Chains A and B, each alone.
Chain A
């Protein structure tokens, strides 16, 4: 039973952490949404802002689950860019936009030799071959 009490305590701490993250996340969402609305000369009512940030938070949690499952399916413990692109595979435009962002990131930060050997050679090959096809 002592184990049960301990996990209750953990759960409480977990909730507090979730709330804090949720608030930080809400602030980021609001600034992004407001910037986008301003571009359209629009205002957003506050409850809608809260809705959008709650929606985006749920989406993030779902994304985390998806990415974990994708990585596990690939026999990895670490999520990579291919997993993120895979999570958007139902929407071709979105996947293509993520793919180009991914290539931009690669160009911007040429990885160190050590890392390159370890992780990205396979990744590089995969993305370039896909690009050739499309």
Chain B
């Protein structure tokens, strides 16, 4: 428990992903105006796009504080599990250093479990 991720850091990463996705969504809506050759029509599509950008639909997602803490816990478990499983394999092989082969062995099951 003593060692975990910082909520703010995870929040920043989440926000980055969400704003990137919001931007992509906007862009997809915006492609409509490329198909259109008439200047007047293009202008009207642009207006639609701007309206959509400020509408509720495209406002980026937010997260509450406890949800972030829980996400930090999920990520902490992910990292400790990766190390723990690799350590078990390394121990079985009689070495005291975790190497690439150990990680390779546990990776498929780890990814299935998360």
Contact = CB atoms under 8 A, between A and B. Distances in A.
B96 A32 contact: no
A63 B74 contact: yes
Interface string A43-62: 11101100110011101110
B3 A31 contact: yes
B63 A88 contact: no
A71 B91 CA distance: 42
A84 B98 contact: no
> Contact size class for A?
35 or more
Nearest to A51: B103
A77 B62 CA distance: 6
Interface residues of B, number: 52
B27 to A, nearest CB: 8
Interface in A42-100: 42-45, 47-48, 51-52, 55-57, 59-61, 63-65, 67-68, 71-72, 77-81, 83-85, 87-88, 90-91, 94, 97-98
A24 B12 CA distance: 11
A79 B16 contact: no
Contact of A35 (B3, B87, B90, B91): B3
Contact of A42 (B16, B61, B64, B87): B87
Nearest to A106: B66
A108 B27 CA distance: 43
A36 interface: yes
5 contacts: A32-B3, A33-B80, A36-B87, A45-B100, A57-B13
